[in-house]
Amino acid sequence: QHYFIQSNLRMSRVVSKHVFDFKPLGQYDEATAALESEMEQMMEAPEAKEMMDMYAALTIKDDPESDQAYIEMMRGFTDESMFAGNPAFQRGEDQCEESKLSVPTTHDGEYSVEVEVYTPKTLAAKKKRAAYIYAHGGGGVSLSAAMCRSPMKCTALDMNVVAFNVDYRIAPETKSPNNIKDFYEVVKYVHAHAEKLGVDASKVVIGGDSGGGYICLGAMVLMAEAGQTDWVKLAVIGMPMTDDYCFSDPLAMTVEERKGAPDTKKWWKLIAADFEAQKSSPYLFPGKASEEILAKFPPTIIIECEFDMFITEATRLATRLRREGRLLELVVIPGSTHTSLFTPGSESGKKLEEVLTTISKEYVHADLKWA
């Protein structure tokens, strides 16, 4: 059941500054092509092939035992060392202070959502800092705030903000909508305690990447329904999972979408408490939010890769948001993939850093324009 704030007043349309002029390459850039080739060669090793065959088999099975084996295997591919210690992120470690925050919640039992806070040393003495509240990726079923600590410290520097890295609960242990409510409660807390946290309440930005993009978009649905859009200045959403496009005919998909569809279908079914009952809900699929709800979203920037596995659904959502006057920018980084964008020190990753720096200058720390 959804609860809507009834209003006859339409929100003003936000105006894009059109600061990005990337041209599509139509092919991987050289660094991404080399990365893809290296990964393919690694997968040709007998042990790697055997492991990936086992993983692929678990992906298409649909029973509790296989689901648990899949989750254990997927989470086994990652740990806190995946970014930590990488020279590409050393500047963040050197130039940021780290603290922690616990946000008490009651929507799924009494539970405190843990938040890691990264403050650039240049902002430490200031009382009103811009804030970026972030949901990490991992398809909604893996990774953690701690695993994404190093790159997020660099993001805090690039955007000149205090970054709040939210350790929301993941599936299958926590189901929709309680996962998005964890993130929503942190946004609510930062808004309510902005002065105590040293945050400028007029410069609160929310965002997330990949599965974290879904988490953030779901929280935006909750805020829109409750008339709380003014809690945040804008949203920056990267390569987001948004809807059930992965369940459609693979013949119409891009190569990357077709390769990623089995995993993405698995993630959605693990996230849902009852997939059939929830498949029309914007709490599970934010891309299915009505025009009335989208029109109440905060001003939004969507960042995508030219060859991302979520490019179609993200572009479709961007088109709907633009029509409702809520899209600031759709940024598509040319020649890049989901993997290359998150590879430490990659050319795609460097472009993403430049994009975030530009967003910070043109939107986070500048006035927005309204029609």
> What pLDDT score was predicted for residue 4?
38
Q: Is the pLDDT of residue 7 over 50?
A: no
Q: Which long-range contacts (CB under 8 A, 24 or more apart) does 121-129 make?
A: 121/95, 121/96, 121/97, 122/95, 122/160, 123/160, 123/161, 123/162, 124/97, 126/198, 127/198, 128/198, 128/199, 128/200, 129/161, 129/162, 129/198, 129/199, 129/200, 129/203
State mean pLDDT over 292-304: 98
Structure-model confidence comparison of residues 85 and 331, the more confident one = 331
**pLDDT tier, 8 (very low <50, low <70, confident <90, very high otherwise):** very low
pLDDT category, 2, cuts 50, 70, 90?
very low
- Give 81's pLDDT tier (boundaries 50, 70, 90): low
Check whether 5 has a pLDDT greater than 60: no
Q: Is the pLDDT of residue 143 over 70?
A: yes
Contact criterion met (CB below 8 Å) for 155 and 163: yes
Report which of residues 226 and 342 the model is more confident about. 226
Other beta carbons less than 10 A from residue 88's beta carbon: 17
Which pLDDT band holds residue 78 (cuts at 50, 70, 90)?
Answer: confident
SS3 129: strand
Residue where the block lists tokens 């398809």: 139
Q: Give the pLDDT mean for 2-12.
A: 49
Q: Is the pLDDT of residue 95 over 90?
A: yes
pLDDT at 9 over 60: no
The average pLDDT across 285-314 equals: 98
pTM (2 d.p.): 0.95
How many other C-beta atoms are found inside a 10 Å radius of the C-beta of residue 91?
14
Q: Which pLDDT score is estimated for 84?
A: 80
**Which pLDDT value is given to residue 6?**
38
pLDDT of res. 345: 83
Task: Identify whether the C-beta of residue 166 lies closer than 8 Å to the C-beta of residue 115.
Answer: yes
Contact 351, 303 (CB under 8 A): no
Mean pLDDT computed over 221-228: 98
Overall average pLDDT of the 242-252 stretch? 98
pLDDT above 70 covers a percentage of the chain that reads 97
Q: Is the pLDDT of residue 237 over 90?
A: yes
| Dist. CA 165–CA 146, nearest whole Å | 8
Q: What pLDDT does 246 receive?
A: 98
pLDDT of residue 85: 82
Averaged pLDDT of the chain = 95
